[in-house]
Structure 1
Amino acid sequence: MKKIYTVLILFVSLLQSCNSDDCGECFTPPQSFVFELVDAETGGNLFTTDMYNPEDISVINTIDNTERAFQFISENQLNVIQIQEVGWETEIVNLEIKIGEDTVFNLYLNAERTTDDCCSFTKYNEIEIRNTDFELDSQTGVYKILVE
């Protein structure tokens, strides 16, 4: 009977030793996407010049025809659209950004949520801005959408 208890204690302690978590917590949220809509000729922000009204913005996921969340940030004469609720899971997203009835541009993302060295993060396999010209400001990460 003593041998059975000894074997049982060794077995349980062996199972407990496999539960070590040497990683600690490590989490990186997905990157947000920030867009400034500017006049292609003058470079002026189209919300600052009142050409566009922020209340007319809509962001539609064309894959399932649902609206996606976004924020309109207006401060210091910089009026931008921020999309940050993508990339929290592995997904393909095709967003249509509209002002009123007009499509300004499309954003295609192929996001893969992954873990490496105990840290979870989002890897973007593809990021495409379609149906418009744009410039990426590498300092701020803001995409300037050039509207004709």
Structure 2
Amino acid sequence: MKKLSALILLCILQSCNLEQDCGQDCFTPPQSFTFQIVDNESRENLFTNGTYKIEELKIVNVLDRDKTFEFKFITENNVDLIQLNNIGWKTEVVSLSFEVSNTSIFKFKVDAERKTANCCSFTTYKEISVKDANFELDKQTGIYRILVE
């Protein structure tokens, strides 16, 4: 009888998955970062009013100036926005300079850490900063409004 009990117990333990059974993994993509560059006094968008031209915009990796950074320029409802969608997919520190006609408008830094816990992958941010310009962050839309003198 003891042998039979031991055999049944052994079968039960072998059929158990001692690792966490996640079923379907969950995945949370990193947030995108969206910017609107406006005049400090009038709050007019400087791309919409023609002061800046999209062809003159470069986003440069400060750590390696030979590399430009991919961005999406959104023209919608008379509002021009710059969107970054490729930060935070991995653990990284990104330091960027937003330049128009080779003149830096502002600098943007993100220290992102990609994590996995309880079968879910997600990104946490140790630092998100805007330098060399005043700005307002709209907490509802997530849009950084960069104020240019």
Q: What's the TM-score, normalizing by structure 2?
A: 0.86
Q: What are the superposed Cα offsets for residues 24-58 of structure 1, whole Å, 9 maximum, x if unpaired?
A: 22001100000000000100000111000011111
Cα deviation, residue 135, structure 1: 0.2
What's the offset of the Cα at 1:89?
0.3
**Aligned-residue offset at 1:64:** 2.1
> Letter of the aligned partner of 1:125 in structure 2?
K
Letter in 2 for 1:41: E
Q: Which runs of 4+ in 1 moved over 3 A?
A: 15-20
**Number of residue-to-residue matches in the alignment:** 142
Q: Name the residue aligned to 1:81.
A: 82
Identity of aligned residues (%): 43
How far did residue 22 of structure 1 move? 2.6
Q: Which moved more, 1:55-64 or 1:123-132?
A: 55-64
Question: Unaligned stretches of 5+ in structure 1?
Answer: 1-6
Q: What is aligned with 1:101?
A: 102
Q: For structure 2, list consecutive stretches of 5 or more residues without a partner in the other structure.
A: 1-6
Match of residue 137 from structure 1: 138
Cα distance, 1:20 vs structure 2: 6.0
In structure 2, the partner of 1:71 is 72
Tell me whether 1:27 sits opposite 2:17 in the alignment: no
The answer to whether structure 1 residue 48 and structure 2 residue 61 are counterparts is no
Name the aligned partner's letter for residue 147 of structure 2.
Answer: L
Q: SS at 2:14's partner residue?
A: helix
- Once the two structures are superposed, residues 88-125 of structure 1 have per-residue CA deviations (whole angstroms, 9 ceiling, x without a partner) of 00001100111111101000110000112211111010
Query: Which secondary structure state, in structure 2, belongs to the residue aligned with residue 67 of structure 1?
Result: coil
Change (3 A) 1:84 1:116: same
CA distance in 1, matches of 2:23, 2:97: 39
Question: Pairwise CA RMSD of aligned residues?
Answer: 2.2
Q: Does 1:59 align with 2:59?
A: yes
